[in-house]
Amino acid sequence: MTVIEINGLRKSYRSGRAVDGVSLTVARGEIFGLAGPNGAGKTTIVECASGLRRPDGGHVQVLGLDPQRDRRELLPRIGVQLQEAALPDALRVAEALRMYAALYDRPADWRALMDEWGLTERARDRFGALSGGWKQRLFIALALVGNPEVVFLDELTTGLDPVARRSTWALIRALRERGVTVVTVTHFMDEAEALCDRIAIIDDGRVAAEGTPAALIAKAGATCLEGAYFTLTGRDAA
């Protein structure tokens, strides 16, 4: 079953066109990756799909709803973690999770989320005192506190050490096993290869290639997704 459908999406800023006619579908329970270099348009696609930005053109549906017209109905059913998010410096980790949980009719157990994402030891720490990696874990937990059917994760392992990255991948796979659809933005090709069921490589606001990691690697004749990216887009890897 298709839960995200994007057709001909376009979005421009003063600096130019960020998304130029992107069309994608994502199935229920899939981990779908948006990969590619910084500035390619990946985050803008997520922001339009989650209702945070209004597209200039095209058609977007998430769970059968328009993210702009049906925003009030859609928001309780999705979770969003954006790379540039922030909280008040004085807010404690446990306070943030408890406050977010209170916004939903049927939230997840926020204490269990703290345990799951290794935040219990930081429960009384203030947001402003957290390292980048701990802030990232908190924002992922906050994106999940509403028990979303679809979750959008933007650069989910930025700031995490190698061990924390792999444990995060395992937790995301567990979400899929529970039927949650995950759309993750990354420019780490090893992460896309290890985590995603399918990937769309975004370049200059367009879909340069799409398929399973194995299919993209086979098509490019490369030994890793990073090589596949450069081969498929015609860029110089050097």
List, for residues 87-142, the tens digit of each pLDDT value: 999 999 999 999 999 999 999 999 999 999 999 999 999 999 998 888 988 999 99
Banded pLDDT at 165 (limits 50, 70, 90): confident
What is residue 237's predicted lDDT score, i.e. its pLDDT? 45
List, for residues 55-84, the tens digit of each pLDDT value: 999 999 999 999 999 999 999 999 999 877
List the structure tokens of 223.
């030994």
Helices (H), 117-185: 132-144, 162-177
List the structure tokens of 93.
């980790």
Whole-number Å distance between alpha carbons of 106 and 147: 7
What is residue 10's predicted lDDT score, i.e. its pLDDT? 97
pTM: 0.89
What is residue 136's predicted lDDT score, i.e. its pLDDT? 86
Whole-number Å distance between alpha carbons of 152 and 50: 8
Between residues 170 and 231, which one has the greater pLDDT? 170
Between residues 37 and 28, which one has the greater pLDDT? 28
Long-range contacts of the stretch 115-122 (C-beta < 8 A, 24+): 116/141, 116/171, 117/141, 117/171, 118/164, 118/167, 119/93, 122/93
Whole-number Å distance between alpha carbons of 21 and 8: 4
Banded pLDDT at 226 (limits 50, 70, 90): low
Q: Where do we find the tokens 């989320």?
A: 113
Banded pLDDT at 223 (limits 50, 70, 90): very low
Q: In sequence order, what DSSP letters do the residues of 23-61 get, joined into one string?
A: EEEEETT-EEEEE--TTSSHHHHHHHHTTSS--SEEEEE
List the structure tokens of 105.
């009719």
Fold of the domain spanning 30-43+76-233: Rossmann fold (3.40.50)
Q: Name the residue ranges covered by the structural domains of the chain.
A: 30-43+76-233
Give the pLDDT mean for 151-165.
85
Whole-number Å distance between alpha carbons of 191 and 127: 27
What is residue 11's predicted lDDT score, i.e. its pLDDT? 97
**Amino acid (1-letter code) at residue 171:** L
CB atoms within 10 A of CB 215: 14
Between residues 231 and 189, which one has the greater pLDDT? 189
- Would you say residue 229 has pLDDT above 70? no
Whole-number Å distance between alpha carbons of 63 and 120: 33
Report CA-CA distances (Å) from 225 to 107, 193, 209: 37, 6, 11
Average pLDDT, the chain: 89
